Homo-oligomer: A and B are copies of this chain.
Amino acid sequence: MTELKILKLPEDKAREIADKLWYRHIDNTVVAVVQDYETREVLMVAYMNREAVIKTLTTGLAHFWSTTRKKLWLKGETSGNYQYVIEFRIDCDRDAVLLLVKPAGPACHLGYRSCFDAEKISPA
C-alpha cells in the first residue's frame, strides 16, 4: 500500500481555485460530493461556500457550509471523523466539486461508513 499524500495548498493558490467556482447554490455555495479515495464509495454530499473551499484546500481537511446551522463546518470537528483530502476535482460548469478523501472514521452520524448506506433499492 502506498502512502497517501494530503492536498494542502498555499493560501494564494487556494484563493485562485476558489475564485474559479460558480457559487450558484443555496447561500452562495457549490455542491460537494465526498468519495473515499481507496474504496471509491460515495460517502456524503454537502455544500461549500468560498470560505469552506479555501479552508479545505489550505488545511487538507474537508470543510463545508452548513445550510441548516448557517455556519462553517469542519467535518469531524466533534466526532473526530475528519476527512483528509487527497484530490479535489471541479466539474465542467464549476458549480460542483468532488473531494477524494481518506476518512478517519464513518462519514454518517448514524455510524454508517457512508450516508448512502441508510437505504438501498435494487431490482428484486
Contact = CB atoms under 8 A, between A and B. Distances in A.
A86 to B, nearest CB: 7
The number of times this chain is found in the oligomer is 2
Contacts of A26: 25-26
B7 A123 contact: yes
A101 interface: no
Majority secondary structure of chain A interface residues (helix, strand, loop or mixed): mixed
Given A25-B26, A31-B31, A115-B96, A89 B45 contact: no
14 contacts: A5-B123, A7-B122, A9-B121, A26-B26, A31-B45, A33-B33, A57-B121, A88-B121, A89-B116, A90-B118, A90-B121, A92-B108, A92-B110, A96-B115
Interface of A: 5-9, 17, 25-26, 31, 33, 35, 40-42, 44-45, 57, 86-93, 96, 98, 108-110, 112, 115-123
